């Protein structure tokens, strides 16, 4: 997997122009969401039911994204890519690096994601859009997670996501609501391994987000992500953010956010700015 990430990203970058010229995705602007830190289409911290990119019937879509968050004691960097087909299936790959600015060292993991749209449409269906996703994660450094009580260096999350756009309901603006239920054993989404000395079983966690399209290019919203608390050495907090996404066209999305990740590995109040730039087709 080590050499796979740059290879796939290069592949997507190389394919993007040719696929885009062959069959430009015809989904409406911003309907691929942006790239979450785990690589799947979503917001910043949570996946949405939307499929990455702009592919509609029989079309290909894709995204590449670079994201960073600067917290009090940590710096997060994510490189991610996704390809999608038929607005039905999305395959994503992400490499996440967490620099331990205060503690010293770096944690790194890879996430391979698959999302399938099961039913509906966020725009056109009264019951919204429903997707099932899996995220297989593997820690590239396991010494620290192991030392603090993590049981495994890899794990697989499964989530069910629902997304729905409500037309003109907030001061005439469109409201996008998303909800996920996720089964996971991940500690700090996997940076600190999977399972722990306190709990070592799958637990259901809720994730939700709400955003308002100020116009078709600007989405302002918030996300919340519940997390398990598997390790005795330090308490794990839920995550949240406030975000602004700018989607000027089908090629570019820029997301700025303020993320609050709570306590991480005993260091409290980890919050700070987040920036993500996505190219798509």
Partner 1 sequence: MYPRLTRTLLAALCLCGLGACSSMPSASDSLYQQLGGKAGISKTVTMFLYQVVDDDRINHYFAGVNADRLQKRLTNQFCQLSGGPCHYGGDNMHKVHAGMHLTDADFNALVEDLILAMEKRRVPISAQNRLLGKLAPMHAQIVGK
Q: Under the rule (CB under 8 A), what is the footprint of partner 1?
A: 26-28, 56-59, 87, 121, 123-128, 162-164, 166-175, 177, 179, 210, 212, 215-216
DSSP line for 155-216: EEEEEEEEEEEEEEEETTEEEEEEEEEEEE-BSGGGTT-BS-SS--S-EEEEEEEEEEEEET
Residue closer to partner 1, measured from CB, 114 or 123: 123
Cβ–Cβ < 8 Å for 153, 142: yes
Q: In the complex with partner 1, which residue's Cβ is closer, 50 or 94?
A: 50
In this complex, which beta carbon is closest to partner 1, that of residue 191 or of residue 281? 281
Q: Which is nearer to partner 1, 12 or 51 (CB)?
A: 51
Residues whose CB falls within 8 Å of the CB of residue 7, separated by 6 or more in sequence, listed in order = none
The pair of three-digit structure tokens given for residue 263, joined into one six-digit string: 């306590």
Closest separation in Å from C-beta 144 to partner 1: 38
Contact by Cβ (8 Å): 48, 130:
no
Instruction: Name the minimum Å distance from CB 128 to partner 1.
Output: 5
Q: How far is the CB of 252 from partner 1 (least distance, A)?
A: 17
CB of 97 to partner 1, least distance (A): 34
Residue 79: CB minimum distance to partner 1, A: 30
CB neighbours of 15 closer than 8 A, spacing ≥ 6?
62, 83
Specify the residue, 53 or 228, whose C-beta has the smaller distance to partner 1.
53
8 A C-beta contact, residue 159 and residue 47: yes
How is residue 225 written in tokens? 């992500």
């Amino acid at each position: 997997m080590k050499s796979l990430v740059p290879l796939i990203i290069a592949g997507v970058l190389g394919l993007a122009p040719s696929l885009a010229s062959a069959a430009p995705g015809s989904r409406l602007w911003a309907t691929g969401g942006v790239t979450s830190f785990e690589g799947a289409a979503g917001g910043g911290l949570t996946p949405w039911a939307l499929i990455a990119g702009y592919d509609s019937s029989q079309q290909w879509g894709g995204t590449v994204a670079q994201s960073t968050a600067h917290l009090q004691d940590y710096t997060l960097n994510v490189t991610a890519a996704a390809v999608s087909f038929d607005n039905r299936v999305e395959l994503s790959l992400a490499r996440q690096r967490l620099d331990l600015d205060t503690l010293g060292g770096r944690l790194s993991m890879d996430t391979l994601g698959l999302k399938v749209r099961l039913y509906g449409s966020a725009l056109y269906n009264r019951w919204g859009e429903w997707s099932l996703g899996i995220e297989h994660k593997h820690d590239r450094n396991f010494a620290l997670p192991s030392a603090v009580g993590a049981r495994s260096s890899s794990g697989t999350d499964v989530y069910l996501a629902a997304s729905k756009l409500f037309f003109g309901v907030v001061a005439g603006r469109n409201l996008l609501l998303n909800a996920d239920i996720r089964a996971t054993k991940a500690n700090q989404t996997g940076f600190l391994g999977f399972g722990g000395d306190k709990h070592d079983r799958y637990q259901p966690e809720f994730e939700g987000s709400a955003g308002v399209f100020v116009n078709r290019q600007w989405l302002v919203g918030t996300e919340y992500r519940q997390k398990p608390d598997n390790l005795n050495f330090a308490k794990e907090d839920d995550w949240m953010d406030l975000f602004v996404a700018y989607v000027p066209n089908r090629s570019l999305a820029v997301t700025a956010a303020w993320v609050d990740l709570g306590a991480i590995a005993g260091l409290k109040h980890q919050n700070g700015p987040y920036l993500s730039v996505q190219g798509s087709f």
